[in-house]
């Protein structure tokens, strides 16, 4: 994926973080932790997309697991 996309998504993540930062006193710790983990996961995914854009995708994962099953069902 192209770099403008990466930058745009980072900005969105930051905006989201700001929005939750303002409300951090009101939300319980579990939700804050989940929010942080999910944001981090999102950031890792888009980083991966920016760097390894020709690398394996989730589709490859699905193919790897299920394509043999499909071929077995077919043949």
- Please give the residue ranges that form the binding site for another protein (CB under 8 A): 1, 5, 8-9, 12-13, 16, 19-20, 23, 27-28, 30-32, 34-35, 38-39, 41-42, 45-46, 49, 57-59, 62-63, 65-67, 69-70, 73
Cβ 4 to another protein shortest distance, Å: 8
DSSP H or E stretch at residue 43: helix 29-51
Cβ 41 to another protein shortest distance, Å: 7
- For the four alpha carbons of 17, 23, 25 and 30, in that order, the dihedral sign comes to negative
| Residues whose CB is less than 8 angstroms from the CB of residue 24 and which lie 6 or more positions away in sequence, other chains included | 32
């Amino acid at each position: 994926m192209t770099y403008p996309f990466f930058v745009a998504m980072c900005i969105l993540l930051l905006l989201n973080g700001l929005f939750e930062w303002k409300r951090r006193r009101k939300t319980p710790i579990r939700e804050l932790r989940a929010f942080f983990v999910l944001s981090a996961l999102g950031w890792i995914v888009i980083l991966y997309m920016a760097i390894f854009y020709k690398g394996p995708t989730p589709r490859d994962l699905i193919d790897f697991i299920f394509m043999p099953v499909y071929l077995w069902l077919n043949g």
